[in-house]
Amino acid sequence: MTFEELYRALLKKNFQSGGEPLPPYDPRHLDCLLYPEKYPPVLRMEPCEKCEFENACQKSCIFDAIVQGEDGQLLIDPMRCTGCAACIDACKHGNLTASRDVLPALKAVRESGKRSYALIAPAFLGQFSGDVSPGKLRNAFKALGFDGMIEVALFADILTLREALEFDKNIVHDGDYQLTSCCCPMWIAMIRKIYHELMPHVPGSVSPMIACGRVIKKLHPDAVTVFIGPCIAKKSEAREPDIADAVDYVLTFQEMQDIFDAAEIDPSVLPESEKDHSSRAGRIYARTGGVSEAVSRTVEQLNPDREIAIRTRQAEGVPSCRAMIEDLRNGAVDANFFEGMGCVGGCVGGPKAITDREHGRRQVNDYGKEATYATPLENPFVVELLHRLGFDTVEDLLSDRNIFTREF
């Protein structure tokens, strides 16, 4: 029985009693599925014999996370693996796969007796078919046992506001610049591990995913938080020691679709349950250029008379991000705000997105246009939430220690 077959059989048993006993399987595969936190976000399924592709997986990893063990076998270092998925694409034998958090996540949601929340990434539009609205998806999560669905776009609003405040405070001379800390764990990992001399230019902010999880935990300390998105790297981010307090489990869109299929839940036929809390700025984070556009408009609203205007540059995909950073280091750019997305297209192009990135981009843009508010400064839900959390003014977001702050 392969890893994939075991995964699907166990998932089916979660929703259907009885059935045939499982055929023989590898105990390590079962351990990976039951205790994914013990393993890196990318798993090697079988020992690698001689590779006729000259260890393409190892060469593809810019983080040097694939190392040679004492027995000569290639191993994935869980401390270095960011879950970028480059090695999965590079392995022509199909011997690498993303880890699965489905089984422990379902158990926590259905058996812990605690409140549980689905934290849905801004890239969700169109992922579960064009007929699945945010309201229908909310009811699909409730049918699985979740107490609610939270759109992470609302917390992208808050981080947009914090990034804009940081820019307005720190970019005061020609030559000053800021690298966005919002959103992409691949981008941040690249700067921290390869271009660490640039870290002083990265604001000490958490990602919208972490912000959302922390706020839920503050308001409901015992709650179970499950993030759902297109990104394997978010699994690695959620485990980082300084922010591991926020999100209990990370599922990909594909894992979520597997759950809906096994539970025989079709979100498209469920009733609506609309709640409109995020602005256009937070919703467009899911595609390349979204962060830049959101922060630019917010900076302009914060300080329309700034002498130094915000000038943005974006890159998508690892090679493009590295080229942009090299241009920055060589002084070959005129921008002062840099956005990097590890995947081509941004989050809508993530390795575990269900729909293609161009369709995802259109869906995200359309959802952004439907927003009642253009920026977080116009969004009353942002102000209301900040007040509930003890922030008297939006400027308090720049305080050194709060739930939206991170020390890199």
Domains defined for the chain, CATH in brackets: 3-98 (3.30.70.20), 102-153+210-269 (3.40.50.1780), 154-207+276-398 (3.40.950.10)
Residue 307: pLDDT over 80: yes
Instruction: Tell me, rounded to whole angstroms, the distance of Cα 73 from its chain centroid.
Output: 31
Residue 241 in this model has a pLDDT that exceeds 80: yes
Is the pLDDT at 203 greater than 80? The verdict is yes
**pLDDT for residue 361:** 95
Quick one: CA torsion of 193, 197, 198, 200, rounded to 10 degrees? 110
Taking residues 201-222, what's their average pLDDT?
96
Could you tell me the pLDDT band of residue 314, with boundaries at 50, 70 and 90? very high
Contact 126, 368 (CB under 8 A): no
Q: Residue 338: how many CB atoms within 10 A of its CB?
A: 25
In tens, the pLDDT along 183-199 reads 899 999 999 999 999 99
Integer angstrom CA distances of residue 32 from 13, 94, 103, 120: 17, 17, 10, 24
The pLDDT confidence band at residue 94, using thresholds 50, 70 and 90, is: confident
Please give the pLDDT value at position 385.
95
Compute CA distances 90 → 41, 42, 49, 86, 351, whole Å.
16, 13, 16, 6, 13
What is the per-residue pLDDT for 358? 96
Query: Is a pLDDT exceeding 80 seen at residue 379?
Result: yes
Separation of alpha carbons 63 and 68, rounded Å: 14
Please, which pLDDT band fits residue 92 given cuts at 50, 70 and 90? confident
Give me the percent of the chain exceeding a pLDDT of 90. Answer: 88
Q: What is the mean pLDDT of residues 301-309?
A: 95
Mean pLDDT taken over the chain: 93
**pLDDT of the residue at 198:** 96
Whether 335 shows a pLDDT value over 80: the answer reads yes
